[in-house]
């Protein structure tokens, strides 16, 4: 059976079929996203790159349909999530970066507009057909932060060492305060 993510159809065909696509695939199936992650991990030494980073799971759900009663404006609702390996820009160590995206997209041709659908973003189609894989991949690439960092400061070695340094700086004052209270 063919992979619906890789099929090419017009946006109207996807919408008319009311196509629902549930995806559970590995990162290695997404060439562009894989190259973005690989480029980021290249900053690490060869031995620091996490093994199996290409095996991260991508989960997605795409639901195609029309937004109007005349069935002339195709749309897709997307829920996409993944956890990829990235390099923390504070401590320069690898960590697992969760990505989650929810999007409601109007599938419109170049220079095409539709009024009254403010809850939707416009996805401009540069070709007559589209592949759902391209939508999933683009949403994930766009959700990656410019400077990835640990969300938990205790997991970041740079922040942990800074907290230890701060404690060392306050220790002399604590000792001075203790001496002053003893003299009184």
Q: Report pLDDT digits (tens) over 130-172.
A: 999 999 999 999 999 988 988 877 788 877 665 444 444 555 5
pTM of the model: 0.81
* Strand-pair partners of 75: 65, 106
Give CB contacts under 8 A, 24+ apart, made by 96-102. 97/144, 97/145, 97/148, 99/140, 99/143, 99/144, 100/143, 101/139, 101/140, 101/142, 101/143, 102/78
**pLDDT single digits (tens) 19-35:** 999 999 999 999 999 99
Give the separation between CA 93 and CA 87, rounded to whole angstroms.
Answer: 5
């Amino acid at each position: 059976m063919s992979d619906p993510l890789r099929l090419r159809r017009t946006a109207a065909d996807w919408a008319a079929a009311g196509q629902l696509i549930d995806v559970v695939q590995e990162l290695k199936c997404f060439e562009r996203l894989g190259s973005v992650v690989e480029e980021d991990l290249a900053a690490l030494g060869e031995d620091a790159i996490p093994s199996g980073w290409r095996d991260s799971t991508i989960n997605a759900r795409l639901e195609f349909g029309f937004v109007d009663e005349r069935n002339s404006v195709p749309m897709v609702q997307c829920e996409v999530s993944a956890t990829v390996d990235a390099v923390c820009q504070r401590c320069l160590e690898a960590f697992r970066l969760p990505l989650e995206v929810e999007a409601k997209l109007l599938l419109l041709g170049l220079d095409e507009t539709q009024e009254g659908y403010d809850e939707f973003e416009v996805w401009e189609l540069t070709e007559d057909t589209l592949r759902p894989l391209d939508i999933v991949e683009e949403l994930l690439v766009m959700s990656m932060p410019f400077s990835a960092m640990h969300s938990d400061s205790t997991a970041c070695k740079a922040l942990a060492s800074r907290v230890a340094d701060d404690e060392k700086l306050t220790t002399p004052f604590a000792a001075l305060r203790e001496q002053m209270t003893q003299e009184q």
